[in-house]
Amino acid sequence: MSDAYASIQSRIRAAALAAGRAADAVTLVAVSKTQPWDHIAPVLDAGQRVFGENRVQEALGRWSERRQGLELRLIGPLQTNKVREAAAFFDVIETLDRDKLARALADEIQARGKAPRLFVQVNTGEEAQKAGVAPGEADAFVGRCRALDLPVEGLMCIPPAEDDPAPHFRMLGQIAARNGLEKLSMGMSGDFETAIACGATSVRVGSALFGHRG
Ligand SMILES: *Cc1c(COP(=O)(O)O)cnc(C)c1O
């Protein structure tokens, strides 16, 4: 088995236990975007079944032929003209971040009669270049998604690279709690243990697992 994979798994379990949570409380989302297949294959062979991808087209190319038994999550921005493909292919879409996308997803879900699980992305640092609803608008946005019958199960964030991530993770947890949402997708290679201490239910780990992206 890949050493990095075993090491990340044991760090996740240790962080969960240290936070007084069950060892298996946190799902590892292995972020395979842009990685060569020879980096991904050993992790897949070792039993990893949940993968995160940033782009619809790239994900289709990488996973279509070996889709069986996997949970695939879209963790990058979704354009409304890709909603049909994304809703058909992904088990989870973590980047619901605007009303136009919410309406397009609702229409698509109604037409198909089957929905991916959804996370609302919150721009906790209110960075202009980042996607996500502003923290102050999150409650109202979650409400509008629910009014469209969208199955929102959690929140996702990507804190500003230069900040201490802990306050951002705590803020996401507070928004989730007051909206009755149980899932928190937060923490990446550099900060997943902090995220687990703050209540992450899934962490998105790429480079620490597969090596630096080219
Ligand atoms: C690329 C990416 C990750 C993984 O980042 P690493 O630092 O390589 O672990 C996690 N989440 C999102 C949204 C990403 O785009």
Q: Is 132 in the pocket of ligand 1 (CB under 6 A)?
A: no
Pocket test for ligand 1, best of 75, 92, 210 (most atoms within 8 A of CB): 75
Tell me the β-bridge partners of 92.
73, 117
CA-proximal residue: ligand 1, atom 12 (nearest) = 75
Q: Is the CB of 116 under 6 A from ligand 1?
A: no
Count CA atoms closer than 13 A to 209's CA, side-chain side.
Answer: 32
Mean pLDDT of 99-110: 98
Digit-coded pLDDT (tens) for 162-211? 999 999 999 999 999 999 999 999 999 999 999 999 999 999 999 999 99
Q: What percent of the chain has pLDDT over 70?
A: 99
How many Cβ atoms are within 10 Å of 29's Cβ, its own excluded? 25
- Tell me which residue has tokens 């629910």: 146
Ligand 1 centre to CA of 139 (Å) is: 25
How far apart CA 5 and CA 46 sit, in angstroms, is 8
The stretch 143-157 carries a mean pLDDT of: 98
Residue with token string 């969960």: 16
b/e for 152-166, b at 16 or more Cβ within 10 A? bbbbbbbbeeeeebe
Span 67-94, pLDDT tens digits: 999 999 999 999 999 999 999 999 999 9
SS3 state of residue 36: coil
Residues in Cβ contact with 85 at an 8 Å cutoff, skipping those fewer than 6 apart: 56, 60
Q: Assess whether pLDDT exceeds 80 at residue 130.
A: yes
Ligand 1 midpoint to CA 196 (Å): 16
Query: Looking at the whole model, is its pTM more than 0.85?
Result: yes
Find the 190 Cα to ligand 1 centroid distance in Å.
10
Instruction: Tell me how far apart the terminal alpha carbons of the chain are, to the nearest angstrom.
Output: 23
**What's the rounded Cα separation, in Å, for the pair 187 and 163?**
13
Ligand 1 centroid, distance to 53 Cα (angstroms): 9
Identify which of 12, 29, 31 to mutate to test ligand 1's pocket (most ligand atoms within 8 A of the CB): 31
How far, rounded to the nearest angstrom, does the alpha carbon of residue 168 sit from its chain's CA centroid? 16
Atom of ligand 1 nearest to the CA of 33: 1
Per-residue pLDDT, 214: 66
Spatial contact of 178 and 150, defined as CB atoms under 8 Å apart: no
pLDDT tens for each residue of 24-57: 999 999 999 999 999 999 999 999 999 999 999 9
